[in-house]
Amino acid sequence: MFTAYDVHALTELILEKYTLAMKPLSKELHIPLKAVEILMFLANNPEHASAKEICDSLHMKSGIVSVHIDRLVEDGYLTRETSHADRRLISLRVTSKATPIKLKGQALQKQFLSDAFAGMSEEELTAFHQSIEKIVDNLQGMEG
């Protein structure tokens, strides 16, 4: 049976190895890793295009997200668009200038996942995916 420590240690290891996998892109672009994470989040999840959703999903503080968004907009990788329905809402969009970065980042992400799941059969991957879905459902159903 897993302990809380096992779950914590696994989470930390995944984050550490993912950071190492994405570092080359950060260095190549000469932008902070957090900015790369934000850009990749928006590239992979265009339906979650607000700063608040970035903060919630990536567990980053709003001040940090704002600084990196400003830089990405200034560098031409993102645009800000005001919602026609509610002018208080700002959507962030990845620009065509960011396409090569998006493709490199997605290739790094794909390689990371391939390396992480190396040696697992299709049945094992399916069982793992089903287990993760069940855990997420259980956690979302918890109070507090």
Contact 2, 23 (CB under 8 A): no
Task: State residue 101's pLDDT score.
Answer: 93
Task: State residue 42's pLDDT score.
Answer: 97
Contact 77, 101 (CB under 8 A): yes
Task: State residue 1's pLDDT score.
Answer: 76
Task: State residue 86's pLDDT score.
Answer: 79
Domains of the chain: 4-141 (1.10.10.10)
Q: What is the mean pLDDT of each run of 10 residues along the chain (144 residues)?
A: 87 94 94 95 93 94 96 96 83 95 96 96 96 93 84
Structure token digits, residue 62: 């709003």
Geometric angle at alpha carbon 55, from 52 and 57, rounded to 5°: 105
What's the CA gap between 36 and 78, in Å, rounded? 12
